[in-house]
């Protein structure tokens, strides 16, 4: 019966590969019989949620009524934080939803979408949902090759997705590179700058990319509360762009796409949790330095990462082997096979004891002294 149902799905959906999430703790407990695991596979905040249980419980007020998304104070707070007008913002059920809305709003079946070879898979699935063509461009040193992307633009190109920092390689395009890139992109192409990990980037305290919005009405920048604010389970992200672009996205979003609890929680976190954010940044840097140091004695290429994760491209081992070894020691990491990197793993930078645990485990795996 399920085969018959599959034949009923529209042609584009049949081609979409299923999303491969990081393995969950519950699934791994079931699969292995082991009682506890530390999950460092989905780039979540290891310090938990930025809000306490009491604070979270306040966010449940008014759950009997539909959320008033357009006038929720979160919009005003975000506008102030980023020095934009409120009509330059759109909220999403995670930034994932905004990628899908962009595909719905802009793509026809004969359009093409460009991105990088090893990047976040939602760009591809959103493209395929509309029956458009997804063209991943070969990367340069595991980073976005913006010149190659420019050269690949044709009259059919409609969207370009750039994850900055990139997941899973951690690469980062600087302001000057982005600026040069945007100046070469024709007006008929929308550029999506996915800044899910931006809060971890130390080199740009002025948040300069936002300035680009003034010059480029074909640019949208997306951010999320899932990472540094530790609200991944509530699903809330946002997009910033010229108001004409936001108006189009508002046409395709469901009327109540974000929920009251998530809106209230994001607002409270944004207004009151700068210490939590700072702590997460500092601990991330310390953890990153620890991994970088340890990796010098491993047979790996440890990619420079601006995100909250480390990406190791191994020279003698497969992702499967490393994943299984870590799993046997109670750590769930991410094998990057589904990202087209069968010899690479991605590890979310954790709390100090978690980082030390994974490093000891990998020292053993790679046969180095700990």
Which of 143, 237, 239, 287 contacts ligand PLP by CB under 6 A? 237
The residue range among 61-69, 90-98, 147-155, 176-184 that interacts with ligand PLP, by the rule CB under 6 A, is 90-98
Which of 102, 149, 194, 200 contacts ligand PLP by CB under 6 A? 194
Pick 193 or 245: Cβ nearer ligand PLP: 193
The answer to whether residues 278 and 250 touch, using CB atoms and an 8 Å cutoff, is no
Min dist CB 96 to ligand PLP, Å, is 4
Sign of the torsion formed by the C-alpha atoms of 341, 98, 210 and 152? positive
By CB under 6 A, the residues from 242 to 301 that bind ligand PLP are none
Which of 91, 126, 185, 196 contacts ligand PLP by CB under 6 A? 196
Question: Cis omega before residue 186 (within 30°)?
Answer: no
For residue 19, with 0-12 CB atoms within 10 Å meaning exposed, 13-18 middle and 19 or more buried, which class applies?
exposed
Which of 40, 78, 88, 94 contacts ligand PLP by CB under 6 A? 94
Q: How far is CA 62 from CA 50, 59, 157, 317, 319, in A?
A: 22, 9, 44, 53, 47
Q: What angle do CA 61, 67, 72 make, to 5 degrees?
A: 90
Which of 45, 167, 259, 348 contacts ligand PLP by CB under 6 A? 167
**Block residue for tokens 């997804």:** 134
- Beta-bridged to residue 313, according to DSSP, are 301, 344
Q: How many CA atoms lie within 13 A of 318 on its CB side?
A: 7
Pick 218 or 224: Cβ nearer ligand PLP: 224
Residues in contact with ligand PLP, shown as a per-residue x/- string from 206 to 235 under the rule CB under 6 A? ------------------x-x-----x---
Which of 96, 118, 216, 262 contacts ligand PLP by CB under 6 A? 96
String of DSSP letters for 54-93: HHHHHTTTTTTS---GGG-HHHHHHHHHHT--GGGEEEES
The residue range among 63-71, 88-96, 285-293, 333-341 that interacts with ligand PLP, by the rule CB under 6 A, is 88-96
Contact flag: residue 170 with ligand PLP (CB under 6 A): no
Between strands 190-194 and 219-224, the pairing is parallel
Pick 273 or 317: Cβ nearer ligand PLP: 273
By CB under 6 A, the residues from 311 to 330 that bind ligand PLP are none
Contact flag: residue 120 with ligand PLP (CB under 6 A): yes
Longest dimension (CA), the chain: 59
String of DSSP letters for 261-311: HHHHHHHHHHHH-HHHHHHHHHHHHHHHHHHHHHHTTSSEEE---SSSEEE
Min dist CB 198 to ligand PLP, Å, is 10
Contact flag: residue 43 with ligand PLP (CB under 6 A): yes
Residue nearest to ligand PLP (CB): 94
- Which residues bind to ligand PLP, rule: CB under 6 A? 43, 94-96, 120, 163, 167, 194, 196, 224, 226, 232, 237
């Amino acid at each position: 019966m399920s085969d018959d149902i599959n034949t009923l799905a529209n042609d584009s959906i049949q081609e979409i590969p299923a999303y491969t999430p990081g393995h969950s703790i519950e699934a791994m407990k079931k699969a292995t019989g082991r009682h506890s695991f530390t999950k460092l596979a989905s780039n979540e905040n290891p310090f938990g949620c930025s809000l306490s249980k009491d604070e979270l419980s306040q966010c449940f007020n008014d759950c009997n009524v539909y959320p008033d998304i357009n006038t929720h104070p979160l919009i005003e707070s975000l506008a102030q934080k980023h020095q934009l007008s409120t009509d330059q913002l759109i909220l999403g059920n995670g930034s994932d939803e905004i990628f899908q809305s962009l595909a719905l709003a802009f793509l026809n079946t004969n359009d093409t979408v460009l991105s990088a070879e090893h990047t976040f898979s939602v760009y591809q699935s959103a493209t395929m949902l509309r029956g458009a063509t997804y063209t991943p461009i070969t990367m340069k040193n595991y980073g976005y090759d913006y010149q190659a992307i420019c050269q690949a633009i044709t009259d059919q190109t409609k969207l370009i997705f750039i994850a900055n920092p990139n997941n899973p390689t951690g690469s980062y395009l600087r302001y000057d590179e982005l600026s040069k890139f945007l100046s070469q992109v024709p007006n008929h192409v929308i550029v999506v700058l996915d800044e899910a990990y931006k809060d971890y980037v130390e080199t740009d305290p002025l948040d300069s990319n936002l300035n680009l919005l003034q010059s480029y009405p074909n640019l949208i920048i997306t951010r999320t509360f899932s990472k540094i604010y530790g609200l991944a389970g509530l699903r809330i992200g946002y997009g910033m762009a010229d108001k004409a672009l936001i108006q189009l996205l508002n046409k395709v979003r469901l009327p109540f796409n974000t929920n009251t609890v998530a809106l209230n929680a994001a607002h409270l976190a944004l207004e009151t949790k700068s210490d939590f954010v700072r702590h997460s940044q500092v601990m991330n840097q310390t953890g990153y330095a620890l991994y970088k140091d340890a990796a010098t004695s491993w047979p790996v290429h440890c990619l420079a990462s601006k995100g909250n994760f480390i990406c190791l491209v191994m020279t003698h081992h497969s992702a499967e082997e490393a994943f299984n070894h870590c799993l046997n020691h109670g750590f769930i990491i991410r094998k990057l096979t589904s990202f087209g990197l069968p010899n690479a793993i991605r590890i979310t930078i954790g709390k100090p004891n978690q980082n030390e645990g994974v490093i000891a485990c990998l020292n053993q795996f790679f046969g180095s002294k700990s």
